[in-house]
Structure 1
Amino acid sequence: MTDRQEWNLPAVTYGFIGIGVMGFPMAQNLRRRIPSSSKLIICEINKSAVDKFLCETQPSENISVASTPKEIAQQCDIIITMVPKGPHVDEVFTEKSTGLLAGAPDSKTRQILFMECSTIDVATSNRMNDLVTSAGHKFVDAPVSGGYNGAVAGTLTFMIGGSEELYNEVRPLAEAMGKKENIYHCGKQGAGLATKQINNYLGFVSMLGVSEAFNMGRLYGLNPKTLASVVNVSTGHCYNSSKENPVKGVTETASASRDFKGGFSIELCKGVVEMALQLGEQVGAKSVLRDVVLNTLNEAAEDSRCKGQDYRSIYLHLADIQQSENHL
Structure 2
Amino acid sequence: MAKNIQSKIPATDTLMIRDVNQDTTARFVEEARQAVKRAAAAGTGTGMANVVVAESARDMAEQSTVVVTSLPEPQHVKDVFYSILRHGELPPLEQERLFIDTSTIDPSSSKEIANAIHTTGQGRFVDAPVSGGVVGARNGTLSFMFGATSQTGQLIDRVRSVLSLMGKNAWHMGAPGAGVSGKLVNNYILAINNIATAEAMNLGLRWGLDPKTLADMVNTSTGRCWPMEVNNPVPGVVETAPASRDYAGGFGVSLMKKDLRLAITAAEESGSPLPLADVARTVYNAVEEEHRGKDFSVVYKWLQDRSQ
TM-score range, shorter chain: 0.7 to 0.9
Give 5+ residue unaligned stretches, structure 2. Answer: 37-47
Q: What's 2:160 paired with?
A: 171
Give 5+ residue unaligned stretches, structure 1. Answer: 1-25, 322-328
Q: What's 1:125 paired with?
A: 110
Which stretch of structure 1 is more off in the superposition, 49-58 or 133-142? 49-58
Q: Following TM superposition, by how much is the alpha carbon of 1:205 offset from its aligned partner in structure 2, in angstroms? A: 0.5
For the pair 1:82 / 2:70, whether they are aligned, the reply is: yes
Given candidates 199, 216, 224, the residue that maps to 1:229 is 216
For the pair 1:297 / 2:272, whether they are aligned, the reply is: no
Matches within 5 A, 1:130-169: 130-136=115-121, 137-164=123-150, 165=153, 166-169=155-158
Q: Following TM superposition, by how much is the alpha carbon of 1:27 offset from its aligned partner in structure 2, in angstroms? A: 0.9
Contact 2:6–2:50 under 8 Å retained in 1? no
Distance 1:72 1:187 in 2: 28
Distance 1:104 1:222 in 2: 64
Deviations 1:27-54 (Å, cap 9, x if unpaired)?
1111111111100010011122112212
Matches within 5 A, 1:1-328: 26-57=1-32, 58-59=35-36, 61-95=49-83, 99=84, 102=87, 105-107=90-92, 111-136=96-121, 137-164=123-150, 165=153, 166-179=155-168, 182-303=169-290, 306-320=291-305
Runs of 4+ in structure 1 deviating by more than 6 angstroms, as ranges, are none
Distance 2:89 2:227 in 1: 42
Distance 2:229 2:87 in 1: 46
Cα RMSD of the aligned pairs, angstroms, is: 1.9
Contact 1:245–1:254 under 8 Å retained in 2? yes
Which stretch of structure 1 is more off in the superposition, 186-195 or 225-234? 225-234
Residues 167 and 255 of structure 1: CA distance in aligned 2, closer, same or farther (over 3 Å): farther
Which stretch of structure 1 is more off in the superposition, 60-69 or 37-46? 60-69
Identity of aligned residues (%): 38
Q: How many residues align?
A: 289
Q: Following TM superposition, by how much is the alpha carbon of 1:258 offset from its aligned partner in structure 2, in angstroms? A: 3.5
Q: Which amino acid aligns with 2:293?
A: G
Contact 1:101–1:132 under 8 Å retained in 2? no
Contact 2:54–2:60 under 8 Å retained in 1? yes
Distance 1:115 1:100 in 2: 15
Q: Following TM superposition, by how much is the alpha carbon of 1:291 offset from its aligned partner in structure 2, in angstroms? A: 2.0
Distance 1:176 1:287 in 2: 36
TM-score normalised by L of structure 1: 0.83
Contact 1:71–1:103 under 8 Å retained in 2? no
Contact 2:69–2:102 under 8 Å retained in 1? yes
Q: Following TM superposition, by how much is the alpha carbon of 1:172 offset from its aligned partner in structure 2, in angstroms? A: 0.7
Contact 1:73–1:103 under 8 Å retained in 2? no
Q: Which amino acid aligns with 2:268?
A: E
Q: Following TM superposition, by how much is the alpha carbon of 1:162 offset from its aligned partner in structure 2, in angstroms? A: 0.9
SS of the residue corresponding to residue 187 of structure 2 reads helix
Deviations 1:90-144 (Å, cap 9, x if unpaired)?
111113xxx4653862457763110011001111111111111122111100001
Contact 2:188–2:263 under 8 Å retained in 1? yes
Q: Which amino acid aligns with 2:296?
A: Y
Q: What's 2:44 paired with?
A: none
